[in-house]
Amino acid sequence: MTSSYFEVADVIRQFGEAYIKRYPNILPSQRRALSDISDCMTPAMGGSMYHCDDCGESFWRFHGCGNRSCPKCHGPKTAEWLEARQSEMLPCNYFHIIATVPEELRSTALRHQKIIYGLLMKTASDCVRKLAADPKYVGGEVGILAVLHTWTGQLHHHPHVHMLVSGGGITQDGLCWTETPYQYLVPVHKLSKMIREQFSADLKKDHPEIHRDIPEKTWTREWCSFCKHFGKGQDAVLEYLARYVFRIAISNARILDLNETHVKIRYKDHDAGRWKEARIPGEEFIRRFLLHVLPKGFHKVRYYGLWSPVKRQQLTIVRLMLELKQPVLSKDDLVVVAQLAEEALSKQSNEKQACQVKCPKCGGLNTVLLEALDPWKNRLVS
């Protein structure tokens, strides 16, 4: 490669075909990711030609692939997600919780991704909600946004769940907001034990054949959890959370070099507290990258508690209570106000703004569409 800037797409174009020939039975979602990322923002994806009336330049704007594993496409999605979340964030304290699984469970997770990953997200969130409901801690229903990550800095397999948790919750009668008086949300040691026991019980009940294949020491060793107070204020939380919601296994900025045989990447060594470099054989890079391409239809971002979709009206009520900084006298009045707020939010979200295309030469917005190019057919990697 002669360029000083490298992308995941460059690695796939160089080593992807050889990898598929060597391992032809990869999952359809993995094959699709390789094809999409390789073709992203190229003529293969189709696009449009524009003319700038300010400087006279004509230029092509090719489409992104939209694949959730693509380093180029997750930025715009982050902006869209942040805008949509503005009406959901509560003006309260927040906590960051991480729940991980022991090494003995990882190979099983790769063979049964939808089952193990989904159960981990649900179990971790349910246990946080159960502990938080205890009057010793929060004493109410908290809001949880859970995000699944499966990687380490060197792209090894390490499934874990990040959870953003509100530092307060609504009481069982739905009339009062209550907050934890401490700078921690729930006891981590107790949470870890609950997650391990509940995960084992649910897996054994619903999928006994999978449970039998897991080493027995998985259920006796410590399951690591982490919890820290993050801060207060929805803007800071949204910024922080966006890094987790749409973060992918590796960004283009972390690829330092690419040659005929190896890929050099940088990664954060959290134990040492500094950045390091690693040289990985090209096909090994592809193998590690594909470990983190999730099955089609799997939702890596899920909402629980107050942020559950079925509690949207209650969430609006809670937001009003916090912004007014006082309980509302009549629950019926609150429902009416919440319905009006819902209607206003829905109307606002449905108002689409026209997107203007900026000229890459002069930066002007006075551009005109000249022609469109359809995506190439049969472009999937064979």
Range of the domain at 42: 8-69+353-373
Break the chain down into helix, strand, coil percent, rounded to 5: 40, 20, 35
DSSP β-bridge partners for residue 58: 51
Better-scored residue on pLDDT, 378 or 93: 93
For the stretch 102-147, pLDDT in tens is 999 999 999 999 999 999 999 999 999 999 999 999 999 999 999 9
Query: pTM for the whole thing?
Result: 0.85
Residue 82 clears pLDDT 70, i.e. is over it: no
Residue with token string 């870890």: 192
pLDDT band at 73 (very low <50, low <70, confident <90, very high): confident
Same structural domain, 138 and 214 = yes
Q: Stretch 266-283: mean pLDDT, rounded? A: 94
In the prediction, which pLDDT does 2 show? 41
Cβ(382)–Cβ(38) below 8 Å: no
Give the Cα separation of 291 and 268 in Å (integer). 19
Q: Is residue 306, in this structure, part of any structural domain at all?
A: yes
Lowest mean pLDDT among 116-120, 159-163, 319-323, 329-333: 329-333
Better-scored residue on pLDDT, 311 or 81: 311
In the prediction, which pLDDT does 174 show? 82
Amino acid at 276: K
- The β-bridge relationship of strands 262-269 and 274-281 is antiparallel
- What is the 3-state secondary structure of 300-311? CEEEEECCCHHH
Same structural domain, 239 and 201 = yes
Q: Stretch 269-284: mean pLDDT, rounded? A: 94
What φ, ψ does residue 305 adopt, rounded to 5°? 65, -130
Q: Is residue 268, in this structure, part of any structural domain at all?
A: no
In the prediction, which pLDDT does 312 show? 78
Cβ(176)–Cβ(327) below 8 Å: yes
Q: Is residue 266, in this structure, part of any structural domain at all?
A: no
Same structural domain, 209 and 101 = yes
pLDDT band at 348 (very low <50, low <70, confident <90, very high): very low
351 Cβ contact list (under 8 Å, min separation 6):
none
Residue 328 clears pLDDT 50, i.e. is over it: no
Residue 299 clears pLDDT 80, i.e. is over it: yes
Same structural domain, 129 and 34 = no
Same structural domain, 194 and 227 = yes
Give me 346's structure tokens. 């829905």
Q: Is residue 328, in this structure, part of any structural domain at all?
A: no
Residue 58 clears pLDDT 60, i.e. is over it: yes
Q: Is residue 284, in this structure, part of any structural domain at all?
A: no
Same structural domain, 86 and 193 = yes
Residue 379 clears pLDDT 70, i.e. is over it: no
In the prediction, which pLDDT does 351 show? 41
Same structural domain, 29 and 127 = no
Q: Stretch 201-205: mean pLDDT, rounded? A: 98
For the stretch 145-202, pLDDT in tens is 999 999 999 999 999 999 999 999 999 888 889 988 777 899 999 999 999 999 999 9
- Please state, rounded to an integer, the average pLDDT across all residues of the chain: 87
Same structural domain, 79 and 63 = no
Domain total in the chain: 2
In the prediction, which pLDDT does 274 show? 94
Residue 3 clears pLDDT 50, i.e. is over it: no
Same structural domain, 28 and 160 = no
Same structural domain, 82 and 56 = no
Q: Is residue 98, in this structure, part of any structural domain at all?
A: yes
Q: Stretch 26-48: mean pLDDT, rounded? A: 95
Q: Is residue 87, in this structure, part of any structural domain at all?
A: yes
Q: Is residue 235, in this structure, part of any structural domain at all?
A: yes
For the stretch 137-158, pLDDT in tens is 999 999 999 999 999 999 999 9
Same structural domain, 116 and 157 = yes
Same structural domain, 64 and 104 = no
Residue 353 clears pLDDT 60, i.e. is over it: no
In the prediction, which pLDDT does 51 show? 94
